[in-house]
Amino acid sequence: MEPLQGCRMIGAIRAFNGILDGYSILHSPPGCHSGVMMLEVLQDNSDWRIAVSGMHQRDLVYGAENKCLLAIKKVYETIKPNFIVAMDCCSSGILGEDLESIVNLAKDEIDKDIIYFSGAGYHSLAYSGYDEALKSLVQFMEQKETIPNSINLIGIKIDDFKAKEDIEEIRRICCNAGVNINSILTCDTFDAIKNAPNAELNVVFGDGIKLAELMKKKFDIPYVVVDYPYGLNGTLEFLNSLNEHVNVDFEFVEEEKKKIIKTVEKVQFYLKGFYGMSSAVVGDYKAFGFAKFLSDEIGFDIDTLGVSKFYNINSKIKEIKDIVENIVIDDRKELEDKIMENNIEILFGSSYEKKMAQNKNIPLIRFSYPVVDEISLNNTPLAGFRGAPTIIERIINEITKA
């Protein structure tokens, strides 16, 4: 089995790099940091917040804990981040380097929050590394005064395709609904993350359930797990889930519906051609909300859903089994076989599905992580009310080019 997702270290980096004034240090040879860094930097060239201790071949025999300490000091002196994580990878993890002691030494010299996180890839897959990394941030949280009608968003990753645009759209929707976003874990400052317990509700987008459970136990904050809000129905489901715990003002929704209808009616004849078109959707937790949008609001037939594993995946599969014919979990070989053998006419996924789409000679619409062969500079989200026309536009343009 070839999994659809990367290793524990990749998941952890995706969590920690969402701390906007934080910095990640990998105690490893340069190759380990270059891969995860490029996955993010190809989306945003201005965001370089990963350093490497620079282990050499001889260090893989004799060890190089001092290089990790030196890297921590250099990062602090040069960048002055508010948070630093030092992480081992496969090579230093096999050696048994004592990075926890190194971090304690660094704390004696640097007056900043520094932690050690075990990121060696052989321990687990990315979803586990991501959840455990988020959970490790609870030690810095402090509950002060609860902010009325406020929520935290958990599970949005800063290197997801159009993540920043989606956050802006979700924030706009919540603002119009009278709901305050207290903190985004993790696409926020370290101070905002430390103040996360001041919210009334945690809203989890698939990943991050362990953090939500720990915050419920420690701070008595309830949580709700929701689909990523794609399309009109998906966004309304998101708001309805919030309304069970906080007060949501739905007055603005009618105007949003009118805007969507006015925009989409321009391409109504194209949309009629989509009815019953066989498709495949590949991604992480976001794939469930995306598949529902394609099926319920546009009329695609979802032949195959390929998803990477996360903690509540079984419950999500039960919700979607009536609209999906084949579900493949974390097995790229099985997924490729399904897509190549079945009569699939369009593929929704990431840059990693490009070869499959070319071999099948079908359009590929990129929406899931990672996207490394397409950029986004304009504010065109995929999520929320404003995201529905964006997705439809992308589909039509790709199909008409094919």
Fold of 256-401: Rossmann fold (3.40.50)
pLDDT of the residue at 34: 67
User: Can you give the pTM of this predicted structure?
Assistant: 0.91
Burial group, residue 213, by CB count within 10 angstroms (0-12, 13-18, 19+): middle
The whole-angstrom separation of Cα 86 and Cα 191 is 19
CATH of 8-140, one of 1.10.569.10, 3.40.50.1980, 3.30.465.10, 3.40.50.12140: 3.40.50.1980
pLDDT at 310 over 70: yes
* Percent of the chain whose predicted confidence (pLDDT) is above 90: 68
- On the question of a common fold for 8-140 and 150-227, the answer reads yes
pLDDT digit string, tens, across residues 2-50:
677 788 889 999 999 999 999 999 888 777 766 777 777 777 777 778 8
CATH topology of domain 150-227: Rossmann fold (3.40.50)
Residue 26, C-beta contacts closer than 8 angstroms, at least 6 positions apart: 9, 13, 32, 33, 50, 51, 52, 53, 87, 88, 89, 119
**Lowest mean per-residue pLDDT among 93-97, 192-196, 315-319, 320-324:** 93-97
Q: What is the pLDDT of residues 201-222, one digit of tens each?
A: 999 998 899 999 999 999 999 9
Q: How would residue 182 be classed by pLDDT, with cut points 50, 70 and 90?
A: very high
| 75, two tokens | 């990062």
Hey, what are 371's tokens?
A: 């996207």
**Domain residues of the chain, as ranges?**
8-140, 150-227, 256-401
Task: Measure the N-to-C terminal CA separation of the chain; round to a whole number of Å.
Answer: 32
The count of other CB atoms within 10 Å of the CB of residue 171 is 16
Question: Which pairing describes strands 83-88 and 113-118: parallel, antiparallel, or unpaired?
Answer: parallel
Amino acid making up residue 268 = Q
Cis upstream peptide for 186 (omega within 30°): yes
